[in-house]
């Protein structure tokens, strides 16, 4: 049946589009739990895409591309961390600058190295790696278990990060830093070190997400190819209520929202393409409006530390 | 060094930040194998090297930057993180183009105010969504304004592919707007239009509002210290946020309308190369001072205006200036923090 | 062999910017003693203890713990050396459970890759049995009252098995009976061989529990003696120095009748069964009924966090009650407890900070609808206030953040008195002030009554002595409820008994 095939393709596309969001959002979950909101995630994302493309091109394999993408995302997040944690600058403004810088810098490097004409690169792609048995499950099997290896990384990270945050002393300290840094510091936790590491970790994962986008999804790099996915990932963290398991679910949900247009096209419905491009953003806004009232952000999110000069 | 920093006024801090940017950007270009001196020279020549360059490129470019810069400065002054000037600008451009296209033979004194009013109103509507979400639902404005940007960009794309596409149906753009909907040129033979005067007038008006009126004082207080404004000042922070957020959206929307009505005379996909984001650098470098925004707006207009000549002469991709804008923001933040370390307290007057 | 102390600080110096908080302070703590540290506000007590607890690195001086010289870079270093601290401002994470707060930073699992809550729970139970400090472990700290929070803080410190336990102003949040329990516990801990260092600014409390005392003044140790070697007057002289003896400010005044002549006028403010919902399941202000008349000072005593802030906000017209009614005059001044957060804008100049209060005043408005601010008139007014209230500042153009705490409070008091034509609400108006500034505030409150048309005053304070000395009528506030104190019970003991009774009601 056409519909069943279309549905299977829709589910497959949902996961494929959801995975980069999931990877970036899972990293950002850890970052935000430490009290840092990294609006510069988009910068790490696009740097990861370019790093992934370049790494795959020069070392000839998609795996090295993913590593290079991760490193690129990490470096961008390290710049962000140096400002907001090291210098205590405003997180929102710094993040916006890092995003701008990431987009501008990757665009310039790409044009300088590969020409401004926009000829698409041909990259070694991150091929799907079907898991035996699991991928044979009807309908959802191929969608979930015939994906690029980075998808499995996202599946594994969600429970692992949940365990890390809620069942280890590391996680307790990290959450305390995000809620009440003064209390954490008095309990002997290094607040700035924790925040810097959490931020850089989030950037590395956003880099992997960017590499996935370039290598498993687009098969090339283009300027601004992340198209705000870093920002959507931040919204996904809110929707997932800062809990890695829910964040994974929310990311896949938004993958589905993005894949919806392909589904309707295969069904022969021809609706304006640009409106579908806007659909995930509108859906995110609607979901934020409906959900956020009932969830609670880390209490010290986006607040600088130390807050002022200690008094006598 | 310490004493030097202590005595550093806001203007010198801005210059120091610019200097740091030039040094870092230059070093990065040299590291990338470019001739930084050649690039800088080409940029300056392209931006201010001739009357034509100054009036028809730099100053023209500065108009949307001043208007969005004012939008950002006003919002930030009120403690509202409106990162959504880009989407508000597009909403304003779409509305302005729509009015301009349907204007027919109406005279300019009707049509120009209608175009500008529609664009300001559309920008305000675009800011209304995040405002309501912030004040009624408790959703922070940072993410919502960012998301609204993408909706706005796609709205414009939809408009030029769909309902507002040119009659020939070839390119993703509208037909030219009615002659009566166009802003007149400021100097004959140049592209500089009356929109520049509008931007400067609004900058002066905003400056006077913040400096001399009670409403402006309330806005500054709410933005600087919401707790003290509420308790010691008995001020209504919510009302202030409403007004500031919507006015900010209107200013950004106006930027879109002025661009369509003064420069392009049509709506295109990709009308703005990210002015709504550049505006943050414009406003911050100006220390959120509306009057200074005019100066920093022209400065960034020069940067963007000279980028093309930099690309032609030195082979540096024009996209590079976006990275330079990011460097400006980071430098301003860094200089500001260093000053705060030395001078206890803060610097924004 | 020289004696080895559990903790010894010698010649400690610490600067914050231009302020020298400590200039060569010494502290010697013996094993098995409760050691009281005394000093006025701003004498450097908290700073000295923070140095001992590894929170602040000293600029100069020697820290010896267990006979060894140590460099304490963090609270963790201090624990490893055997120093545990209970802070004045609680250092708990409100959104985490009590048990999680106790587990925070213990690092008992290998590589921190587990969270052994069950083990920690067992250790806490054992510790609770030994000390009598019982708290529910599964509840989030945000739902606990201040007394329970303090117990959690002490348990948290004791879980680390410190040889030296440091407590900074632990009695500020406790009712009198709870203070006695705490002191009993501290004595027991000292008897068990620990050293306990205790800071309090109430002299009688220290005298009641300490074996030895150290007095700080202006960052220096001016007296260190055995309890039996000194008496109260001697300690007061050491604390304030000979020239500045001000009995009111050190809380040593006697309750010898009504503080100022009372000329009661008409009612200026009324609360009628006013309630304020705290949004978390209970009434922060519960069924408050109160009349305030011109010329009288109504004192509200109580342990912190019992709804005083909500009462202050309602009385000053800053918020409206959820239920019931509040009638508040236009000419109301409000001295908030937290001047840096609610009283001033640090980044604004002094004129703008005065404008914060006076910007509605018709004298300072011009133009259509009074929409323009007359800055020149405000500058003149500011200059006048600075002179009249002796605010030490270079001029009206300097930023408020550059002023010292005492001068900031003078500025707030000056502005709010200017506003208080009918009513003045003052919430802990002398907290954190040095002697001179506190005496100034007390003097201004007393002077108010001498005006022709004096406002009514509501003085809300956790400092019982301040309330007793300045008020005509006194209420205690417990769990959001106001209880009137009859004239016969106008004493520390009487008010303490009322608090206790209300707490158990």
User: What pLDDT does residue A116 have?
Assistant: 60
Taking a C-beta distance cutoff of 8 angstroms, is the pair C426, C335 a contact? Answer: yes
Residues in chain C closer than 8 A to A171 (CB atoms): 115
Q: Does B218 touch chain C (CB under 8 A)?
A: yes
In this complex, how many residue pairs, one in chain B and one in chain C, have their CB atoms less than 8 Å apart?
A: 83
The Cα B176–Cα B304 span in angstroms is 25
Q: Is residue B90 within 8 angstroms of chain A, CB to CB?
A: no
| A312 contacts C42? CB cut-off 8 A | yes
Chain C CB within 8 Å of residue A196 CB: no
Residues 66-95 of B with CB under 8 A from C: none
Q: Could you give the CA distance from residue C195 to residue C178 in angstroms, rounded to a whole number?
A: 21
C39, C186, C230, C469, C485 from C252: Cα distances, Å: 13, 25, 16, 10, 21
Question: What CA–CA distance (Å, rounded) separates C79 from C69?
Answer: 15
How does pLDDT run across B160-198, given as a tens digit for each residue? Answer: 998 999 999 899 999 999 999 999 999 988 899 999 999
Helix (H) or strand (E) holding C270: strand C267-277
Nearest-CA distance C433 → chain B (Å)? 19
| Residue of B28, B135, B143 to mutate when probing chain A, most A C-beta within 10 A | B143
Question: Does residue B231 sit at the C interface (CB-CB below 8 Å)?
Answer: yes
Residues of A within 8 A of C93 (CB-CB) are 175-176, 179-180, 183-184
Q: Does A304 touch chain B (CB under 8 A)?
A: no
B115: exposed, middle or buried (C-beta count within 10 Å: 0-12, 13-18, 19+)? buried
- Residues C21, C11: Cα–Cα separation, whole Å: 13
| Cross-chain residue pair A112–B274, CB shorter than 8 Å | no
CB proximity A312 to C under 8 Å: yes
CA distances from A246 to A26, A171, C468 (A): 10, 17, 56
Q: Beta strands C212-217 and C220-226: pairing type?
A: antiparallel
For residue C115, give the nearest of A172, A179, A184 by CB distance.
A172
Asked if B321 and A104 touch (Cβ cutoff 8 Å), the reply is yes
Q: What are phi and psi of C160, to 5 degrees?
A: -85, 5
- Please answer whether residues C146 and C88 qualify as being in contact, where contact means their C-beta atoms are separated by less than 8 angstroms: no
To 5 degrees, how large is the angle CA B84–CA B88–CA B91? 145
The pLDDT assigned to B4 comes to: 61
Residues 138-177, chain B, touching A (beta carbon < 8 A): 138-139, 142-144, 146-151, 154-155, 157-158, 161-162
Q: Is A141 on the interface with B (CB under 8 A)?
A: no
Q: Which of A207-211, C93-97, C161-165, C501-505 has the lowest mean pLDDT?
A: C501-505
In A, which residues are within 8 Å of B29 by CB distance? none
Q: Decide if A37 touches B, using CB distance below 8 A.
A: yes
CA atoms within 13 A on the CB side of A219: 6
Single pTM value for the model:
0.90
Cβ-proximal residues to C367 (8 Å cutoff; 6+ apart), any chain: none
Q: CA C391 → CA B229, C248, C379, distances in Å?
A: 22, 21, 15
pLDDT value for C244:
45
Instruction: List chain B residues with CB under 8 Å of A112.
Output: 32, 315-317
CA distance A264 to C435: 76
Regions of chain A with pLDDT less than 50: 308-312
**Could you tell me the two tokens for C293?**
């008349």
* CB-CB contact of C468 with C297 (8 Å): no
Q: What pairing do the DSSP bridges indicate for beta strands C473-478 and C481-485? A: antiparallel
Whether C475 and C482 have beta carbons less than 8 Å apart is answered as yes
| pLDDT, tens digit, 9 for 90 and up, residues C267-278 | 999 999 999 998
Contacts of C118 (CB under 8 A, 6+ apart): none
Which segments of B216-295 are extended strands (E)? none
Q: Which of residues 255-274 of A touch B (CB under 8 A)?
A: 272-274
Contacts of A278 in chain B (CB under 8 A): 150-151, 154-155, 158
Beta-carbon separation of B345 and C401 below 8 A: yes
Distance CA C52, CA C84 (A): 9
Give the tens place of pLDDT for each residue, B260-309: 999 999 999 989 999 999 999 999 999 999 999 999 999 999 999 999 89
For chain B, say whether C359 makes contact (Cβ under 8 Å).
yes
Nearest residue in chain A measured CA to CA from B129: A285
The pLDDT score that the predictor gives to residue C248 is: 42
Per-residue pLDDT, B8: 62
User: Tens digit of pLDDT for each residue in C468-488?
Assistant: 888 999 999 988 999 999 888
Q: Is the pLDDT of residue C118 over 70?
A: yes
Q: What is the interface pTM, i.e. ipTM, of the complex? A: 0.92
Instruction: Please state whether the peptide bond connecting residue A150 to the residue before it is cis, i.e. omega within 30 degrees of 0.
Output: no
With contacts defined as CB-CB under 8 Å, which chain B residues touch C375?
A: 212
Which chain A residues have a beta carbon less than 8 Å from that of C113? 168-170
Q: Which of A73, A20, A48, A100 has its CA nearest to residue B149?
A: A100
Of B148, B158, B322, the CB nearest to A104: B322
| Average pLDDT for B69-73 | 98
What is residue C405's predicted lDDT score, i.e. its pLDDT? 80
Report whether C329 contacts C502 (CB < 8 A): no
Across A227-231, C250-254, C329-333, least confident range: C250-254
Q: Which residues contact B87 (CB under 8 A, 6 or more apart)?
A: B126, B145, B148, B149, B150, B151, B152, B153, B276
Chain A CB contacts of C156 under 8 Å are 187
The SS3 call for residue B284 is helix
The arithmetic mean of pLDDT across residues C178-187, rounded, is 88
What is the pLDDT at residue C414?
94
Residues from chain A that touch B287, judged by Cβ atoms under 8 A, are none
Contacts of B344 in chain C (CB under 8 A): 17, 401-402
Rounded to the nearest angstrom, the minimum Cα separation between A20 and chain B is 18
Distance in Å, alpha carbon of A163 to nearest chain B alpha carbon? 28
A110 and A52 Cβ atoms separated by less than 8 Å: no
Please write the tens of the pLDDT for every residue from A141-171: 888 888 899 999 999 999 999 999 999 999 9
Which of C279, C347, C367 is most worth mutating to test chain B (most B CB atoms within 10 A of its CB)?
Answer: C347
A293 touches chain C (CB under 8 A): no
Q: What span, in angstroms and rounded, lies between the C-alpha atoms of B265 and B258? A: 10
């Amino acid at each position: 049946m056409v519909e069943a095939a279309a549905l299977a393709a829709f589910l497959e596309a949902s996961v494929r589009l959801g995975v980069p969001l999931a990877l970036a959002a899972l990293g950002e979950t850890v970052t935000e739990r430490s009290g840092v909101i990294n609006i510069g995630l988009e910068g790490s994302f696009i740097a990861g895409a370019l790093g992934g493309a370049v790494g795959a091109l020069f070392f000839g394999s998609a795996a090295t591309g993913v590593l290079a993408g991760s490193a690129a995302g990490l470096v961008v997040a390290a710049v962000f961390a140096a400002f907001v944690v090291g210098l205590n600058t405003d997180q929102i403004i710094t993040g916006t600058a890092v995003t701008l810088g990431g987009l501008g810098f990757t665009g310039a490097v790409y044009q300088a190295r590969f020409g401004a004409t926009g000829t698409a690169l041909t990259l070694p792609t991150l091929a799907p790696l079907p898991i035996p048995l699991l991928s044979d499950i009807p309908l959802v099997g191929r969608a979930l278990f015939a994906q690029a290896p980075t998808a499995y990384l996202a599946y594994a990270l969600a429970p692992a990060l949940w365990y890390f945050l809620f069942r280890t002393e590391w996680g307790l300290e990290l959450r305390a830093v995000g809620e009440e840094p003064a209390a954490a510091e008095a309990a002997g936790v290094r607040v700035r070190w924790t925040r810097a590491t959490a931020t850089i970790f989030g950037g590395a994962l956003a880099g992997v997400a960017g590499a996935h986008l370039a290598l498993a999804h687009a098969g090339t790099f283009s300027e601004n190819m992340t198209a705000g996915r870093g920002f959507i990932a931040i919204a996904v963290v809110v929707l997932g209520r800062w809990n890695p398991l829910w964040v994974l679910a929310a990311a896949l949900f938004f993958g589905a929202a993005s894949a919806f247009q392909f589904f309707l096209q295969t069904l022969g419905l021809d609706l304006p393409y640009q409106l579908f491009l806007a659909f995930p953003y509108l859906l995110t806004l609607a979901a934020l409006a409906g959900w956020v009232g009932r969830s609670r952000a880390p209490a010290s999110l986006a607040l600088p530390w130390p807050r002022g000069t200690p008094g006598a | 060094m310490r004493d030097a920093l202590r005595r550093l006024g806001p203007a010198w801090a801005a210059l120091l930040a610019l200097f740091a940017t030039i040094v870092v950007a230059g070093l990065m270009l040299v590291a990338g194998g470019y001739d930084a001196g050649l690039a800088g020279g080409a940029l300056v020549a392209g931006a201010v090297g001739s009357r034509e360059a100054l009036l028809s490129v730099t100053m023209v470019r500065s108009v949307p930057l001043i208007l969005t810069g004012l939008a950002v400065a006003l919002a930030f002054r009120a403690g509202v993180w409106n990162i959504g000037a880009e989407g508000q600008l597009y909403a304003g451009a779409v509305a302005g183009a729509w009015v301009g296209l349907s204007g027919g033979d109406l005279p300019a004194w009707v049509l120009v105010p209608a175009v500008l009013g529609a664009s300001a109103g559309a920008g305000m509507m675009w800011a209304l969504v995040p405002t309501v979400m912030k004040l009624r639902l408790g959703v922070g404005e940072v993410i919502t304004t960012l998301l609204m940007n993408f909706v706005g960009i796609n709205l414009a794309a939809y408009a030029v592919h769909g309902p507002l596409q040119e009659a020939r149906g070839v390119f993703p753009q509208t037909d030219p707007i009615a002659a009566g909907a166009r802003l007149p040129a400021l100097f004959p033979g140049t592209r500089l239009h009356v929109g520049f005067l509008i931007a400067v007038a609004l900058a002066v008006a905003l400056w006077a509002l913040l400096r001399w009126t009670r409403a402006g004082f309330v806005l500054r207080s709410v933005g600087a210290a919401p707790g003290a404004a509420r308790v010691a000042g008995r001020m209504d922070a919510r009302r202030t946020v409403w007004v500031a957020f919507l006015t900010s959206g209107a200013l950004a929307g106006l930027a879109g309308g002025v661009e369509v009505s003064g420069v392009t005379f049509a709506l295109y996909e990709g009308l703005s190369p990210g002015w709504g984001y550049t505006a943050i650098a414009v406003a911050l470098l100006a220390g959120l001072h509306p009057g200074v925004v005019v100066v920093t707006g022209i400065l960034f207009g020069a940067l963007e205006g000279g980028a093309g000549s930099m690309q032609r002469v030195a082979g540096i991709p024009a996209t590079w200036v976006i990275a330079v804008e990011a460097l400006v923001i980071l430098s301003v933040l860094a200089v500001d923090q260093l000053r705060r370390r030395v001078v206890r307290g803060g610097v924004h007057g | 062999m020289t004696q080895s102390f559990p903790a010894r600080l010698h010649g400690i110096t610490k600067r914050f910017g231009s302020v020298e908080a400590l200039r060569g302070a010494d502290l010697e703590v013996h094993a098995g003693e409760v050691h009281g540290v005394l000093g006025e506000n701003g004498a450097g007590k908290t700073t000295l203890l923070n140095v001992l607890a590894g929170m602040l690195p000293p600029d100069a001086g020697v820290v010896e713990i267990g006979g060894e010289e140590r460099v304490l870079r963090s609270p963790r270093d201090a624990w490893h050396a055997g120093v545990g601290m209970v802070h004045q401002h609680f250092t708990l994470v409100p959104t985490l459970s009590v048990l999680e707060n106790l587990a925070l930073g213990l690092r008992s699992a290998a590589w921190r890759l587990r969270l052994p809550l069950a083990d920690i729970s067992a250790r806490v139970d054992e510790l609770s049995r030994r000390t009598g400090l019982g708290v529910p472990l599964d509840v989030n700290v945000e739902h606990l009252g201040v007394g329970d929070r303090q117990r959690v803080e002490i348990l948290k410190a004791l879980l680390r098995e410190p040889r030296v336990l440091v407590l900074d102003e632990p009695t500020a949040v406790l009712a009198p009976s709870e203070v006695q329990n705490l002191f009993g516990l501290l004595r027991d801990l000292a008897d068990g061989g620990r050293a306990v260092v205790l800071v309090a600014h109430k002299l009688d409390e220290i005298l009641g529990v300490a074996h030895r005392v150290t007095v700080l003044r202006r960052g220096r140790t001016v007296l260190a003696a055995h309890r039996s070697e000194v008496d109260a007057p001697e300690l007061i002289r050491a604390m304030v120095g000979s020239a500045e003896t001000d009995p009111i400010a050190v809380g040593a005044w006697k309750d010898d009748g009504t503080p100022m002549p009372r000329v009661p006028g008409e009612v200026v403010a009324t609360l009628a069964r006013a309630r304020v919902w705290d949004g978390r399941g209970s009434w922060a202000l519960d069924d408050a009924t109160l009349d305030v008349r011109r010329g009288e000072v109504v004192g509200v005593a109580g342990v912190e966090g019992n709804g005083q802030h909500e009462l202050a906000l309602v009385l000053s017209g800053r918020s409206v009650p959820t239920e019931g009614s509040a009638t508040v005059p236009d000419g109301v001044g409000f001295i908030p407890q937290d001047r840096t957060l609610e009283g001033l804008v640090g980044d604004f100049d002094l004129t703008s900070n005065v404008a914060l209060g006076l910007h509605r005043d018709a004298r300072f408005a011009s133009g259509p609808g009074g929409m323009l601010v007359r800055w020149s008139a405000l500058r003149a007014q500011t200059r006048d206030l600075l002179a009249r209230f002796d605010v030490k500042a270079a001029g009206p153009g300097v930023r408020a953040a550059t002023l010292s705490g005492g001068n900031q409070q003078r500025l707030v008091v000056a502005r709010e008195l200017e506003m208080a034509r009918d009513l003045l609400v003052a919430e802990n108006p002398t907290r954190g002030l040095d002697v001179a500034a506190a005496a100034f505030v007390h003097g201004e409150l007393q002077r108010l009554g001498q005006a022709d048309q004096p406002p009514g005053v509501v003085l809300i304070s956790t400092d019982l002595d301040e309330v007793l000395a300045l008020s005509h009528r006194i209420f205690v506030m417990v769990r959001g409820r106001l209880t009137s104190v009859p004239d016969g019970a106008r004493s520390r003991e009487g008010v303490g008994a009322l608090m206790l009774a209300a707490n158990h009601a």
